Amino acid sequence: FLEPVNTNVITDYLNVVKEPMDLGTMRRKVESEAYRSIDEFRRDLLLVCSNARQYNGAGSIYAKSADRMQE
């Protein structure tokens, strides 16, 4: 969640997840004032969560963590 997925190690990630996002990238976007609205921030946070579910499967520890984070 904190850093971009290393696609050199997880080579199939981009075949499954079409729009990667992570909390580290979000932090950098906050610090650089790249978000124009709270809705843009929320969209990225939901994207982090949906990517975790999509790649790892609904029952995985990553998906469960994403569910808790999204609450």
CB 62 within 8 A of CB 56: yes
Fold that domain 13-70 belongs to in CATH = Histone Acetyltransferase; Chain A (1.20.920)
Say what the pLDDT of residue 47 is.
98
pLDDT along the chain (71 residues), means of 10: 96 98 98 98 98 96 95 88
The residue extents of the domains of the chain are 13-70
Which residue in 27, 10, 9 sits closest to 48, CA to CA? 27
Residue 55: CB atoms within 10 Å: 18
Instruction: Report the distance separating Cα 65 and Cα 61, nearest Å.
Output: 6
Say what the pLDDT of residue 61 is.
97
